[in-house]
Amino acid sequence: MTVRAYALDWLSRREVRDSTYANYKGFIEKYVIPRIGRKTLAGVSKVDIEHFKISIGKELSPSTVYDRMKLVKHIFWSALEEKRIQEDPTKGVKNVFGSRAVDDDEIPTLAEVRLLHEHISPQYKLTIWLQGAAGLRVSEALAFHTGCLRDGVIRVRWQISSKAHRQDCKTRLVPLKHRDEGEYRDVPAASSLCDEIQAHAKLWEPIPLTFQNAAGKARQVQVFFAPRERGKGVMPTANTYSYHFRKACKAAGLVDAEGKPRYHPHSLRHFFASTALAAGIPIHEVSRWLGHKSIQTTVDIYGHLVPEAWDRCRSLIQTAMWPGGT
């Protein structure tokens, strides 16, 4: 059996969320299949895996390589357990955890956020504020509906399904990442953000969306970002939205030396988190508003952005080691 055939079969047997499935499938199709997909499972050696890791390391960040190599290891572990191979070629291949800390260059300035808002397609302008001023994931912003805003608080309960653009999709809204159906989180909404939401609703009247929850029960909400043109699908997804975001980056001149967009939608969550932490908001509060699975995730990504911690450390070491110094 080839690696390609087994990897796709292995993925089809995973019980994961739509977004996770799409993520895994994208990696398998873009990286695994072109590099080792034609080999038989038994024909893959440790050297092949080491070369594979090095090759993807030239295109992906260290933290992404770490996560994706865990996926590759799971594929071959399963093949070993199912007795399709006698030895695991990933055994002994080191997979060192990469730094998850966000780089300052990945965080847009306020002026750049405003440029993105200015240049993105009119129907998506509100997404810039929902991500930058409330820290919503792009999939959560696209699922925004009239029931989300309540007395200065945004209640996040749903995110858009990766299949929401398809006519045959019934579960267009799905539970939040790391959360079960019925769970939600509340995020404080600045008064100007509330004004922007109200202004958007007047300009782009919310549209009824009927979908099924996990139990198959029909639900309906008035969504803000349903397509306004024929032939554009039922709902935008994170993938279809990314086209508009990249286009806005280029129109605003926010590109690197190769002309590629300097930021991605997640950069706006970085902006929200860094702004809150720089203002002295406790990191555990920011973690809760971002919807991270644990505070450790927030610390790993944004811990270095807490200015008080650095100042306290400098003061403590100065007093301890140079008590008479200034």
Give the tens place of pLDDT for each residue, 211-234.
998 788 999 999 999 876 655 667
Average pLDDT over residues 78-85: 93
219: helix, strand or coil: strand
Give the tens place of pLDDT for each residue, 25-35.
999 999 999 99
pTM of the model: 0.74
Confidence band for 165, pLDDT divided at 50, 70 and 90: confident
Q: Residue 90 has what pLDDT? A: 93
Q: Residue 16 has what pLDDT? A: 79
Q: Residue 225 has what pLDDT? A: 93
Give the amino acid at 179.
R
Burial of 33 (0-12, 13-18, 19+ CB in 10 A): middle
Residue for token pair 């958007």:
200
Distances (CA, A) of 261 to 105, 128, 271: 13, 16, 16
Q: Residue 326 has what pLDDT? A: 59
Q: Residue 97 has what pLDDT? A: 64
Alpha helices in 3-155 (DSSP H): 3-12, 18-27, 33-36, 46-57, 62-81, 110-119, 125-132, 138-141
Give the tens place of pLDDT for each residue, 280-319.
889 999 999 999 988 988 988 888 887 666 676 777 777 8
Angle at 40 between CA 90 and CA 33, to 5 degrees: 75
Could you tell me what percentage of the chain is helix, strand and coil, using 3-state DSSP and rounding each to the nearest 5?
Answer: 50, 10, 40
Residue 172 has pLDDT above 60, yes or no: yes
Distances (CA, A) of 294 to 179, 288, 298: 12, 8, 7
Residue 43 has pLDDT above 80, yes or no: yes
Q: What is the mean pLDDT of the chain?
A: 90
